[in-house]
Amino acid sequence: MSKTYLMKSRTDHQGLSALFPNELSELISQEPSFRGRQLFTWFSSGTFKFDEMKNLPAALRRSLIDRYGETACTSKVVKQQTDADGTVKLLIKLHDGLFVESVLLIDEEGRKTACISSQIGCAMGCTFCRTAELGLERNLTASEIVEQFYHLSEIAGQPSHIVFMGMGEPLANIYETARSIEIFHFSEGLNISARRITLSTCGIPDGIRFLAESLSVPIRLAVSLTSADNDLRTRLMPINSRAPLPELHEALLHYQNIRKKRITLEYVLLGGVNDSDAACRQLVQFARDLECVVNVIPWNPGAGLPYNEPSKNSTERFCSCVEHAGLRVTRRYRRGRGISGACGQLAGTGSSLHHIHPVTKLNEQI
């Protein structure tokens, strides 16, 4: 992986939502240190307007407003859409006028999962993903990542789970992503369990090793594999030309040896491309010495992309083939397709949001 990806997260360019209590205390060093903890508690509760922080002295609130404006939040929701299955997609405007999309998924049991973006666009170039068509505009700061969670919480209620599966490659923005994970997990704040946070990557070996060796929070790892044929994977996912399957496999073994955690291999099923019995056998061979679960994801159409959805029979046959080989298989059920909020459909421009209504609470839309 290019070392230019490994840029340290800087507190001097963060919004306040990605700072820890001691860092907030340093910003208002003229105040007692406990004021930083109070600020952090307000942010963790989803309150960002300084005037609403009534346990802060009026003079401090005025000082914060003079310095940062009415709110500590650096982004705002400008459009919202809700699918019939309960999925919520937000278009979020950032301080520089750029946009990012985030999604809240609700499963059959009512569990809410925040699908978070880590970049504006993506440089990885996966040929079956709409986000890849945008190219990479820039990395998100940790505060811009964290604020997505709070925006989703404000509209739809606080999610219990987080997946880094939105726009961008999290491991190509590794230090900002890592800081956001630490904020999500921090016991004095949201205190989200590590087992409820999943990071999905296209497979950057240096980033995977960083997760294994350096990240303080033992989150779940998911890898978008899509093909275990080296040539085909290179055509589908250009990252494979820089980090081919043997190198990826080695990094996954290293991660597993250190973390002792099961890995999810995500397999986007493309009709007539990677859904054959031979493709299944290659997948089984790749996963033979990994403690893993295979998550089969029937491809979600994107305008202009040159692929076909797999048939129901093809999907069932592929899943059965993998399962009969002794691997655990799960199937990703399609949620959010009606609002282009499913896997691989985020575009970040708002062009996919056809029937927009004003931003309201989720329970006001049902």
Catalytic residue among 101, 147, 169, 266: 101
Containing 251, the helix (H) or strand (E) segment is: helix 245-259
Strands (E), the chain: 76-82, 88-93, 99-106, 112-115, 119-121, 136-139, 161-164, 197-201, 220-224, 263-269, 292-298, 328-331
Question: Are 335 and 83 a contacting pair, CB within 8 Å?
Answer: yes
Tell me what pLDDT residue 132 has: 85
Active site residue 101: yes
Q: pLDDT of the chain along its 366 residues, tens only? A: 333 334 455 555 678 999 999 999 999 999 999 999 999 999 999 999 999 999 999 999 999 999 999 999 999 999 999 988 889 999 999 999 999 999 999 988 899 999 999 999 999 999 999 888 889 999 999 999 999 999 999 999 999 999 999 999 999 999 999 999 999 999 999 999 999 999 999 999 999 999 999 999 999 999 999 999 999 999 999 999 999 999 999 999 999 999 999 999 999 999 999 999 999 999 999 999 999 999 999 998 877 888 999 999 999 999 999 999 999 999 976 554 454 444 544 555 544 433 333 333 333 332
Q: At 35, list the tokens.
A: 């004021």
Catalytic residue among 115, 280, 292, 343: 343
pTM (global) more than 0.75: yes
Q: Which of these, 335, 274, 268, lies nearest to 126 by C-alpha position?
A: 268
CA gap 319, 275 in Å, rounded: 9
Tell me what pLDDT residue 84 has: 87
Domains and CATH numbers, the chain: 19-68 (1.10.150), 76-364 (3.20.20.70)
Angle between helices 174-185 and 142-156 (to 10 degrees): 50
